[in-house]
Amino acid sequence: MEINEYFENGNGRELFLEQIGRSDWGAGKYLYELLKNNELEKLTGENPRVFLLSDGGKLAAFCTFTAADDIPDTELTPWIGFAYTFPEYRGRRCMGLLFDKIISIAAAEGFPAVYISTDHIGLYEKYGFEFMRHMTDRRGEQSRVYVKRLK
């Protein structure tokens, strides 16, 4: 397994973009459109990063690491978003590899914590995230916000 950053992946970018677009998750298809139309930065702030976990040339999992995410008007930053593992790779803790990479970067950049907005319960806790509180997302719905405090 290898971790790459989408925006630094020159030659393989189109292949990975196509695979993101084939995910069976609506938010994955939304990320595909944002990337295809160069609009991710408008939504998430400057210098968004998209991390890709690949198995050979096959995409196993992906997620974003950005200044903002699905919760508007908050000072909380940075965020992990669009976290997705393809069905054939689930149960192998692939997302944990991506989270470890992001947490290492966030700590090196001096952030005290990273955040995730989700509707899932019991998914991110196994990676050391703690439920923080409910917040209203961009659609006006309640979302669970999790935090991972960095040492």
The enclosing domain of 66 has a CATH number of: 3.40.630.30
- Could you tell me the strand order of the sheet in which 142-149 lies? 2-5, 49-55, 58-66, 79-85, 113-118, 142-149, 130-136
Q: pTM surpassing 0.85?
A: yes
How many folded domains does the chain comprise? 1
Q: What value does the mean pLDDT take over residues 104-120?
A: 95
Q: How many CB atoms lie within 10 A of CB 2?
A: 10
User: Residue 109 in 3-state DSSP?
Assistant: coil
CB atoms within 10 A of CB 105: 16
Domain carrying residue 93: 2-149
Task: Name the pLDDT band for 66 (thresholds 50, 70, 90).
Answer: very high
What integer pLDDT is reported at residue 148 of this predicted model?
Answer: 97
